[in-house]
Amino acid sequence: MPIVIGAISPHGIRTIPLLSDTADGAPGTRHALLELGRRFAAAEPEILFICGPHGVRVNGFVSLSDTARGAGTAYWRDKQVELNVRMDREFAQLVAGKARERGVPVAQIGFGGTNPPTSVLQLDWSVIVPAWFAAYQVNMTGMGHPLADRPADIDAAGGPALVVANPSRMLPREANIEFGRAVAEAANESGKRVGFIASCDWSHTHVDSHRFKQHPAAKDVDARVVQAIKDDNIASLIDLDEDAASNAAIDGLWQALMLEGVKQITPMPVDFLSYEVAEYFGMIVATYQPA
């Protein structure tokens, strides 16, 4: 079964309704993410594959989950959302093999017990936010720690299994496209319905903030990215100037290139839903579905 849906999704924690009534400056992004969720629900993926920038990174390798479960907590001000979900080790191993055939180095990562039922991956916010909108939309209170006791009926509500990947910026950018191709090839071979999300925030230097200093590259880089996505031409970003990317402090390029690789195997036109700057950083929501 080929990829059934894809997306570029931000991971601003404030967008989750359980964490902020107003989305704290990102109402348009929340609206678009809720629409993304409706489209993923309609596509009924059996596997949710998320590549993000903030999880376990292994220098010179694409890191890929190799656990039975994933658990984590997202915090915003005085609130939190917890997830504890099943993961698909079999599909992850298929992707790893396809990627290595394409010359992409992959590091399969885990945590906790060495036996499959007790292995757990710590989920970070760049996974939790898009996963919440695309699949789960619940708060599994008390379950966000990787070593939390898990009720036997926790999966009764259903939902897709999760697979997580993180790129290494030490690899050539082309390796990310090759990895995306490997994911799509694995989907074709597995017979499972797969939804793919590139979890991306964009320029973080639109204004001075507690984390970054303002830089004029932010506006220019985001404008180029927005146009490339609207034009359905993510591939054009592969030569984005390294200094510009650094000065803008983007974290989405590498995952977006993975999505480009997916689309080269499973063509999917874009539906650009939103672009918004919340405080100091840019967020884009776009969905992709096979014709």
Long-range contacts of 110-118 (CB under 8 A, 24+ apart): 110/65, 110/66, 110/67, 111/67, 111/146, 112/67, 112/146, 112/147, 116/67, 116/68, 116/89, 117/68, 118/68
Work out whether strand 3-9 and strand 194-199 pair parallel, antiparallel, or are unpaired.
parallel
89-140 tens-digit pLDDT: 999 999 999 999 999 999 999 987 766 667 899 999 999 999 999 999 999 9
pLDDT score recorded for residue 274: 98
Q: 8 CB contacts (<8 Å, ≥6 apart)?
A: 197, 198, 200, 229, 252, 256, 259, 284, 285, 286
Q: Cα separation of 85 and 87, whole Å?
A: 7
Look at residue 118 in the predicted model and tell me its pLDDT: 75
> What pLDDT, in 10s, does the model give residues 169-194?
999 999 999 999 999 999 999 999 99
Under a CB-based contact definition with an 8 Å cutoff, are residues 164 and 135 in contact?
Answer: no
| pLDDT beneath 50: ranges in the chain | none
Q: How many other C-beta atoms lie within 10 A of the C-beta of residue 172?
A: 10
Q: What is the pLDDT of residue 116?
A: 63
Are 47 and 91 in contact, with CB atoms under 8 Å apart? Answer: yes
User: Which domains are delineated in the chain?
Assistant: 3-288 (3.40.830.10)
4 Cβ neighbours under 8 A, 6+ residues apart: 43, 44, 45, 193, 194, 195, 289, 290
- Residue 15, C-beta contacts closer than 8 angstroms, at least 6 positions apart: 23, 26, 29, 30, 33, 129, 133, 283
Residue 54 exposed, middle or buried by CB count within 10 Å (0-12, 13-18, 19+): middle
Threshold 0.85, pTM exceeds: yes
pLDDT value for 181? 98
